[in-house]
Amino acid sequence: METYNIYMDEAPATDDGAGEEGWDVEFRVVGQSIDDGDPENNAVLAGLDLVDLINLRDALQQEIDNFALSALEAQALIGEQGDDMAP
């Protein structure tokens, strides 16, 4: 079974308007059989098989869903508190 390496590439982002420079981050997934980089030193995660990548995707999606749900719940709570204060 093919294994994969995940790389995280960073580049300076454009100015955010507050005078602070941020960073843009992009992830790359490269099959180990065609990877001509140096995964032992540069890969964020090296040697993942397809099942590992699927599990990683699922775990990340769960965290994204949890964050989004928390944000929606916070907005709903703020909306309810605003309705209680209306005359």
Q: According to the model, what pLDDT value does residue 57 have?
A: 93
Look up the domain containing 80 and give its range. Answer: 3-84
Tell me the Ramachandran region of residue 21: left when phi exceeds 0, alpha when psi lies from -120 to 50, beta otherwise: beta
Q: Model-level pTM?
A: 0.60
Number of domains the chain contains: 1
The pLDDT score that the predictor gives to residue 65 is 94
* Interior/surface letters 21-59, b for 16+ CB within 10 angstroms, e for the rest: eeeeeeeeebeeeebeeebeeebebbebeeeeeeeeeee
User: Which regions in the chain score pLDDT beneath 70?
Assistant: 14-21, 82-87
pLDDT value for 55: 92
